[in-house]
Amino acid sequence: MHLMLVDPDHVAVGVGRLHFNSIREAQIRYMAIDVSAQRRGFGSRLLAALEARARELGAARMVLDARESALRFYRKHGYRTVGPGHVLYNSIAHVKMEKEV
Ligand SMILES: CC(C)(COP(=O)(O)OP(=O)(O)OC[C@H]1O[C@@H](n2cnc3c(N)ncnc32)[C@H](O)[C@@H]1OP(=O)(O)O)[C@@H](O)C(=O)NCCC(=O)NCCS
């Protein structure tokens, strides 16, 4: 599922995606809020909406790969670190995180 947050002029403010890895495990991917709109609660709203949809569809666990700069954001939303993730473009390290929903 793709979710996009738009402003009153229908300009995209942020995006996020929900994948199912199995019947019970959903993964958040490609979360991003426009630089000009960060730290105003939009990422939290998008994440909450993706988690709510995952729950509705039967997920028991959320997983994601967070870049290090986003760790605080996900921790604030109850995710815990479970180990190292992939390295994107040979430079952006990611960390695996998860939480029960
Ligand atoms: C990470 C991201 C999705 C968060 O979205 P956002 O709309 O900026 O986040 P919110 O305003 O909902 O933030 C909620 C809380 O998360 C934490 N947080 C968010 N961004 C943070 C940052 N850059 N540094 C530290 N804490 C941060 C803060 O605790 C914040 O609460 P506060 O503003 O009251 O202190 C967004 O900053 C982003 O798109 N970053 C670049 C792309 C990216 O890293 N995507 C994630 C890929 S894994």
Give the separation between CA 64 and CA 56, rounded to whole angstroms: 18
Q: What is the CATH number of the domain that holds 17?
A: 3.40.630.30
Length in residues, the chain: 101
Determine whether the shortest distance from the Cβ of 21 to ligand 1 is under 6 A: no
Mark 10-29 as b/e (b = at least 16 C-beta within 10 Å).
eeebbebebeeeeeeebbbe
Determine whether the shortest distance from the Cβ of 40 to ligand 1 is under 6 A: yes
**What number is the average pLDDT over the span 71-98?**
92
Domain count, the chain: 1
11-60 tens-digit pLDDT: 999 999 999 999 999 999 999 999 999 999 999 999 999 999 999 999 99
Determine whether the shortest distance from the Cβ of 76 to ligand 1 is under 6 A: yes
Give me the pLDDT at residue 91, please: 84
Q: How far is the CA of 43 from the centre of ligand 1 (A)?
A: 6
Determine whether the shortest distance from the Cβ of 38 to ligand 1 is under 6 A: yes
By the 10 Å C-beta count (0-12 exposed, 13-18 middle, 19+ buried), 73 is classed as middle
Q: How far is the CA of 73 from the centre of ligand 1 (A)?
A: 5
Q: How confident is the model at residue 89 (pLDDT cuts 50, 70, 90)?
A: confident
The range of the structural domain enclosing residue 39 comes to: 2-100
